[in-house]
Amino acid sequence: MLQLLQRILGVGSPSSKTIAKERLRLVLLHDRTSIPPHVIEALKGDLIKCISKYMEIDENNLEVSLNDSDESVALVANIPILKVRQM
């Protein structure tokens, strides 16, 4: 019933314009910084290697991405730490 009402009123799912904007934003982020996805993947691999020397990390829940805020682009890495190695 609620779904039917939502469909009639056209709310609920995002409009295709919103989807277009979001896709465009992401694709331009990569275009503008000219960092292709496979480079990000390689960077991720190296980060894991480097950090793993010092601490045990949760590789499955690790996120590395590029974020743009206004004029600048930032590399954002979210790396869950499981244990710090005793050096």
Partner 1 sequence: MGEVIVITSGKGGVGKTTTTANIGTGLASLGYKVVMVDTDIGLRNLDVVMGLENRIVYDIVDVVHGHCRLKQALIKDKRFEDLFLLPASQTRDKTSVTQEQMRKLCKDLKEEYDYVLIDCPAGIEGGFKNAIAGADKAIVVTTPEVSAVRDADRIVGLLEANDLKNPKLIINRIRPHMVKKGDMMDIDDMIEILAIELLGVVPEDEFIVVSTNKGEPAVLDKNSMAGQAYRNISLRITGENVPLMQLDVNVGIMKKLRKLIGF
Q: Least distance to partner 1 from the beta carbon of 64, Å? A: 23
- Min dist CB 74 to partner 1, Å, is 18
Q: Which residues bind partner 1 (CB under 8 A)?
A: 8-11, 15-18, 20-21, 23-25, 27-28, 31-32
Q: Is 73 exposed, middle or buried (CB count within 10 Å of its CB: 0-12, 13-18, 19+)?
A: middle
Cα 63 from chain centroid? 6
Closest to 50 in 3D by CA, of 77, 22, 32: 77
The candidate with the shortest Cα–Cα distance to 71, out of 14, 29, 17, is 29
- If the CB atoms of residues 5 and 81 are measured against partner 1, the closer one turns out to be 5
Nearer to partner 1, 6 or 52 (CB): 6
Q: How far is the CB of 37 from partner 1 (least distance, A)?
A: 16
